[in-house]
């Protein structure tokens, strides 16, 4: 049995799809029977809403989770003619193959980009998913089904029977700017024009943005979502005042990051340019980065990404003009993205004598193992040892 594919309005408001009792999950084969449920809803769409509500304050996560839940719900009712709460382990084996090639294309894949969700041309997919995206989709759905089981809505998680591959150790981080490239980026920034008020404001904003990302290692999303009111000063045991920046970031978790004297000087420069007092006030609502013109509103992540990419591209072009010896460096900068600055910060922190636990806490890593991926100095030492002690001797 197949049902007509309907355009799904945003789950935030959620009436996912208008389904009959046979498809809405109220009588799903995998519904928990006899247990006392921890949620009061009785349909799959409403259960998904409750699960998603936990992520509503974290837009990136919410959008990603909503997308995967929508896709599965639609596929279940459209292709299988059964509610999501009746899906079996065998169904998921079929779904995984479907993710690699969503057919028929006219039903599942958008023919053009950036179609509004309430447009009749909207479809759940932009195209086949890469192996990495397929795995991510299943991870998200596995988490959703586990939660629905714990909530007493489902009797079991059909994805729990999937073969668990041993997690491979993550490779060392390579997407970062080494010291030479970082110097070139700073040279580009210092070469920016400053003749007009607008040019000066643009220069100070770029300089402040790169300073903030390099010293703190914060994510671009954390730049756009936090304010200058997160800066605060407190005295240490020797009665010296030290500045900190409180950041609410990934997973809605809060951490404090040292705001070094250098960073506070850069902040003062930027605030003076924007007509603000040199030091921020605790609780101040001024965004960490402002649009040109001084409007008191946060910038979008895409706008910040664009600023960073422009600087990287200008630097790359300048290196290309130096000749063939600089082509490789230029190519790295052309490939660089905003997240490279976070990796650059982490790599620089670990290259000195900083306690790796402090680096972990600065970057907000869950595990020290994640932070270990920045320890390039150990790799360099290993290379030197091999070079000196492992010879061909032809």
Spans of all domains in the chain: 44-161, 179-387
What is the predicted pLDDT for the residue at 253? Answer: 82
Q: How confident is the model over 227-246, as a mean pLDDT?
A: 87
Give the distance from CA 381 to its chain's centroid. Answer: 32
According to DSSP, the β-strands at 231-235 and 241-248 are: antiparallel
Domains 44-161 and 179-387 equal at CATH topology level = no
Q: How confident is the model over 199-219, as a mean pLDDT?
A: 93
Q: How confident is the model over 212-217, as a mean pLDDT?
A: 88
**Is the peptide bond between 248 and the residue preceding it cis, with omega within 30 degrees of 0?**
no
**Which is more confidently placed, 295 or 186?**
186
Q: Which residues pair with 254 in a beta bridge?
A: 248
What is the predicted pLDDT for the residue at 254? Answer: 86
Q: How confident is the model over 340-366, as a mean pLDDT?
A: 72
Is the model's pLDDT at 384 over the cut of 90?
A: no
What is the predicted pLDDT for the residue at 96? Answer: 92
The alpha-helical segments, DSSP class H, found in the chain are 44-53, 59-75, 89-100, 105-108, 131-150, 179-190, 197-216, 220-225, 261-273, 301-320, 327-335, 338-351, 356-363, 368-372, 376-389
What is the predicted pLDDT for the residue at 228? Answer: 95
Q: What is the DSSP string of 66-109?
A: HHHHHHHHHHIIIII-S-GGG--HHHHHHHHHHHHS-SSHHHHB
244: tokens are: 């900190």
Is the model's pLDDT at 35 over the cut of 80?
A: no
92, 137 contact by CB (below 8 A) = no
Give the distance from CA 347 to its chain's centroid. Answer: 19
Burial of 290 (0-12, 13-18, 19+ CB in 10 A): buried
Tens of pLDDT along 137-154? 999 999 999 999 999 999
Tens of pLDDT along 59-81? 788 888 999 999 999 999 989 99
Sorting pLDDT into bands at 50, 70 and 90, what band is 168? low
Class of domain 44-161: mainly alpha
Distance CA 71, CA 305 (A): 28
**Which is more confidently placed, 187 or 340?**
187
Sorting pLDDT into bands at 50, 70 and 90, what band is 353? low
Distance CA 1, CA 321 (A): 63
Is the model's pLDDT at 285 over the cut of 80?
A: yes
Fold of 179-387: hpI Integrase; Chain A (1.10.443)
**Which is more confidently placed, 3 or 186?**
186
What is the predicted pLDDT for the residue at 380? Answer: 52
What is the predicted pLDDT for the residue at 13? Answer: 33
Sorting pLDDT into bands at 50, 70 and 90, what band is 22? confident
pTM: 0.55
What is the predicted pLDDT for the residue at 394? Answer: 53
Q: Which residue's structure tokens are 């643009």? A: 202
211, 260 contact by CB (below 8 A) = no
Sorting pLDDT into bands at 50, 70 and 90, what band is 189? very high
User: Percent of the chain having pLDDT more than 90?
Assistant: 43
Distance CA 98, CA 134 (A): 10
What is the predicted pLDDT for the residue at 377? Answer: 47
Mean pLDDT of the chain: 82
What is the predicted pLDDT for the residue at 115? Answer: 74
Q: How confident is the model over 156-168, as a mean pLDDT?
A: 70
Supply φ then ψ for residue 246, to 5 degrees. Answer: -85, 125
DSSP code of residue 117: T
Burial of 380 (0-12, 13-18, 19+ CB in 10 A): exposed
Q: Which residues pair with 287 in a beta bridge?
A: 227
User: Percent of the chain having pLDDT more than 70?
Assistant: 81
Distance CA 383, CA 271 (A): 45
What is the predicted pLDDT for the residue at 19? Answer: 74
Is the model's pLDDT at 348 over the cut of 90?
A: no
What is the predicted pLDDT for the residue at 174? Answer: 60
What is the predicted pLDDT for the residue at 140? Answer: 92
């Amino acid at each position: 049995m197949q049902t007509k594919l309907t355009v799904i309005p945003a789950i935030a408001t959620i009436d996912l799809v208008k389904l009959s009792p046979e498809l809405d999950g109220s009588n799903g084969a995998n519904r928990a029977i006899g247990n006392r449920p921890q949620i009061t809803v009785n349909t799959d769409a409403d259960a998904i809403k409750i699960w998603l509500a936990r992520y509503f304050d974290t837009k990136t996560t919410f959008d990603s989770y909503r997308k995967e839940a929508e896709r599965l719900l639609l596929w279940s009712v459209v292709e299988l003619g059964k509610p999501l709460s009746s899906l079996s382990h065998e169904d998921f084996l079929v779904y995984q193959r479907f993710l690699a090639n969503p057919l028929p294309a006219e039903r599942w894949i958008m023919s053009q980009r950036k179609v509004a969700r309430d447009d009749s041309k909207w479809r759940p997919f932009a195209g086949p998913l890469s192996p990495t995206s397929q795995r991510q989709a299943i991870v998200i759905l596995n988490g959703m089904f586990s939660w629905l089981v714990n909530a007493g809505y489902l009797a079991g998680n059909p994805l729990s029977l999937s073969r668990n591959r041993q997690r491979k150790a993550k490779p060392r981080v390579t997407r970062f700017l080494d010291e030479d490239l970082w110097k070139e980026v700073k040279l580009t920034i210092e070469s920016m024009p400053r003749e007009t008020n607008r040019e000066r404001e643009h220069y100070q904003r770029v300089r402040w943005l790169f300073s903030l990302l390099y010293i703190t290692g914060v994510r671009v999303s954390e730049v756009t979502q936090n304010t200058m009111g997160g800066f605060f000063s407190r005295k240490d045991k020797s009665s010296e005042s030290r500045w900190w920046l409180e950041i609410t970031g990934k997973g809605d978790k809060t951490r404090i990051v040292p705001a070094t004297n250098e960073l506070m000087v850069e902040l003062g420069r930027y605030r003076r340019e924007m007509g603000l007092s040199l030091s921020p006030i605790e609780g101040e609502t001024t965004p960490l980065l402002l649009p040109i013109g001084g409007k008191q509103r946060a910038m979008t992540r895409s706008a910040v990404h664009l600023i960073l990419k422009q600087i990287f591209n200008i630097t790359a072009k300048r290196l290309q003009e130096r000749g063939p010896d600089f082509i490789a460096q230029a190519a790295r900068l052309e490939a660089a993205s905003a997240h490279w600055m976070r990796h650059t910060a982490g790599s620089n922190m670990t290259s000195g004598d900083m306690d790796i636990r402090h680096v972990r806490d600065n970057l907000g890593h869950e595990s020290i193992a994640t932070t270990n991926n920045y320890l390039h100095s150990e790799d360099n030492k290993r290379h030197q040892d091999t070079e000196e002690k492992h010879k061909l001797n032809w």
